[in-house]
Amino acid sequence: MMNISILGAGAWGTALGITFSQKHNVVLWVRDLEQAKKMAAFRVNERYLPNIFLPNHLAIENDFKKATEQAALIILATPVLGLRATLQQLAVMPNIPPLLWVCKGFEANSGLLPHCVVSSVLPNHKIHGVLCGPSFAEEVAKGLPTAVTIASQNEAFASCYAKSLSHSRFRVYANTDLIGAEIGAATKNVIAIACGVLEGLALGLNARSALITRGLAEISSLTIAMGGKQTTLSGLSGIGDLMLTCTGALSRNRQFGINLAAGASKSILLSALNHTVEGVQTTYEVRKLAKQYQLDMPITEAVYFLLEGIMKPADMVSFLMERETKLEFGDSANQLKIEDAN
Q: Domain check: are 17 and 118 in the same one?
A: yes
- Residues 170, 196, single domain; the answer is no
Q: Is residue 31 in a domain?
A: yes
pLDDT at 340 over 60: no
**Which of 37, 188, 229, 312 is flagged as catalytic?**
188
Instruction: Check whether residue 141 and residue 187 sit in a common domain.
Output: no
CATH number assigned to the domain comprising residue 103: 3.40.50.720
Q: Which of 259, 214, 25, 15 is nearest to 131 (CA)?
A: 15
For residues 332 and 304, what is the distance between their CA atoms, to the nearest angstrom? 21
Q: In which domain, by residue range, is 81 found?
A: 3-176
Residue 330 covered by a domain:
no
Does some domain include residue 332?
no
Q: What is the pLDDT of residue 134?
A: 98
pLDDT > 90: what percent of the chain? 87
Asked if residue 160 is part of any domain, the answer here is yes
Q: Is residue 205 part of a domain?
A: yes
Q: Is 188 a catalytic site residue? A: yes
Domain count, the chain: 2
pLDDT of 42-99, one tens digit each? 999 999 999 999 999 999 999 999 999 999 999 999 999 999 999 999 999 989 999 9
342 has pLDDT over 80: no
Q: How confident is the model at residue 26 (pLDDT cuts 50, 70, 90)?
A: very high
- Residue 146 shares a structural domain with residue 43: yes
**337 in any annotated domain:** no
Same domain, 198 and 266: yes
- What rounded mean pLDDT belongs to the chain? 93
49 & 185 share domain: no
pLDDT tens, position by position, 298-321: 999 999 999 999 999 999 989 999
* pLDDT number for residue 273: 67
Decide the pairing of beta strands 146-151 and 128-132.
antiparallel
Do 13 and 157 sit in the same domain of this protein?
Answer: yes
Among residues 137, 157, 176, which one ends one of the domains?
Answer: 176
Query: Does the structure show a pLDDT above 50 at 256?
Result: yes
Say yes or no: 93 and 239 in one domain: no
Based on the fold, state whether residues 170 and 186 are members of the same structural domain. Answer: no
Same domain, 25 and 114: yes
Task: Give start and end residues of each alpha helix (H) in the chain.
Answer: 11-20, 33-42, 64-68, 80-90, 114-121, 137-141, 155-165, 178-200, 205-225, 241-247, 252-261, 266-272, 278-292, 298-307, 313-321
Q: CATH no. for residue 243?
A: 1.10.1040.10
